[in-house]
Structure 1
Amino acid sequence: MTTGQEVLDRLTSLRLHQQHGRRAPHKPLLVLLALGQLTRIGTSELPWSQTHERLSDLIAEFGPPSKTGRVQSAAYPFTRLRTDGVWTLNRDVPMDLIGPLTSHDVAGRLDAGTESALRRDPELLRRVTRALVDQHFPATIASDVLTAAGLDPDDILQAPGVTPLSTRRRDAGWRRAVLQAWDRQCAFCGYDGQLGNACVGVEAAHVRWFAFDGPDSPDNGLALCVLHHKLFDFGALGLDDSLRVQVSSVFTARTPTGRTTYDLHGRILRPRPGTPLPAVDHVAWHRREVFKGEPLAA
């Protein structure tokens, strides 16, 4: 019988195709879809014909920028997750090929031992799901990832945090230092709401995500309002080499309030004297791994 610890270890130790710090959340997103299916209907089975569009959407929304076709991006994890020993297909098909998946209406699912252990122990399912999200995404978009995968964020994010692959500890003073350095106001829009002595709606944001070796250092931090922090982590906002704010051409808004985001495009960061600016390497990582599409035209 597969133990809970074995399931946790396997699902949080997936072999990812990573080079030079590149993100590759394709397999974790497929596992999250399977976990959502298991939670809803009691089985993790995902037919390719009913899954490839959802998986493609997840990869496009929460993965790094890519020139790979959407369906092809889904075929990679759907066939290659088998090599991790946690995923089975009801038909033996070649790696990466879309044709056989479509023509044979192939279905995939978590292996029997893993699925059985998760079905027996709902708390294990929560812990595995929470660990996957913590490993691959920042907290700002964790609830969005879970919702898109068909999971209940309120249920999952109350589970104990599990980070078995990392021994790094966050610097407890980093958030406070970043907010102070940026005068407790959003580096993009200048919002500086306070309630008494407490900042309200202003957060310390990593430029390079902590889960991807982003340090708790002054040159990897920005003070951002809640809205612009989320847009920054989604890839709708970024920075160019001159540290001017970039708005993605993929971002759209229709109302006057939403369209104020366009006004940020080209705005240069203006911290108080002595505040460390984001390091070039961290800015380049964000532009390569998170920022979506191309910047708006000047």
Structure 2
Amino acid sequence: MTKEELIEKFQNIKVHKSKGKISVHKPLLILLALKAFKEGQKSMPYEEIAPTLNRLIKEIGNAPSPRANYPFVRLVHDKIWSLNKQQLVDDFHGEDPTGKFLVENKVSGGFTADIQNNLTKNPENIEILNGVVTTVFFEKELHKKLETLL
């Protein structure tokens, strides 16, 4: 995968839009995952990431009742994220699993193998993707705030 293909995948993630505003749930998860990957953590248990992701969704996304489980399982559809127990998640009553279910079943998530390989071989792409995601999905006024919160 070339750097351009990698960037394109991240620029084109599907985000929910309402009243002209985009939902930043998935981009926040990506930024957290990039930071974790840079620190050597390739897979993140939902139980560990949910509190931070919920806080960020509330602070940055202005969501009164954040639900980290949504981006955690839905990012898989963008083909940049994978779950250690995907079949278990897929079998969850035809809808998104609850946070409780993800915790009880010790579900972890991380970038797909091809993306992990790319980031391992080209660690400079972590910062490039961080910049791309920040620029594409967040208003300029939030960029500094994101730096301090992440």
State the TM-score, normalizing by the size of structure 1: 0.45
How many equivalent pairs are there? 143
Report the residue type matching 1:60 in the other structure. Answer: K
Note the aligned Cα RMSD (angstroms): 1.6
Per-residue deviation, 1:140: 3.2
The answer on 1:30 being equivalent to 2:29 is yes
Cα separation, 1, equivalents of 2:139 and 2:16: 20
Instruction: Tell me what 1:16 maps to.
Output: 15
Look up the equivalent residue of 2:69 and give its one-letter code.
A
Shift of 1:96: 4.2
User: Which sections of structure 1, spanning at least 5 residues, go unmatched?
Assistant: 150-298
Aligned pairs for 1:56-205 (under 5 A) are 56-64=54-62, 66-67=63-64, 69-70=65-66, 73-92=67-86, 93=89, 94=92, 95-149=96-150
Letter in 1 for 2:104: S
1:40 aligns with 2:34: no
Q: More helix by proportion, 1 or 2? A: 2
Contact 1:48 1:107 in 2 (8 A): yes
Q: Which amino acid aligns with 1:144?
A: K
The code of the aligned residue for 1:20 comes to K
- 1:30–1:77: 8 Å Cα contact kept in structure 2? yes
What is the alpha-carbon distance in structure 2 between the residues aligned to residue 11 and residue 40 of structure 1? 20
Q: CA offsets per residue over residues 65-108 of structure 1, 9 Å max, x none?
A: x34x33xx211100100100010010121424223201111110
Structure 1 residue aligned with 2:50: 52
Distance 1:49 1:8 in 2: 28
- Aligned-partner SS, 2:77: helix
| Secondary structure of the structure 2 residue equivalent to 1:132 | helix
Q: Which runs of 5+ in 2 are unaligned?
A: none
- The CA distance in 2 between the partners of 1:146 and 1:12, in whole Å, is 19
CA contact (8 A) 1:88 1:110 kept: yes
The change in CA–CA distance for 1:119 and 1:146 in structure 2 (over 3 A counts) is: farther
Change (3 A) 1:102 1:35: same
Q: Percent identity?
A: 27
Q: Deviations over 1:34-81 (max 9, x none)?
A: 00001112x3311111110000011111113x34x33xx211100100
Greater Rg over alpha carbons, structure: 1
Shift of 1:121: 1.3
Tell me the SS of whatever aligns to 1:15.
coil
TM-score w.r.t. the length of structure 2 is 0.87
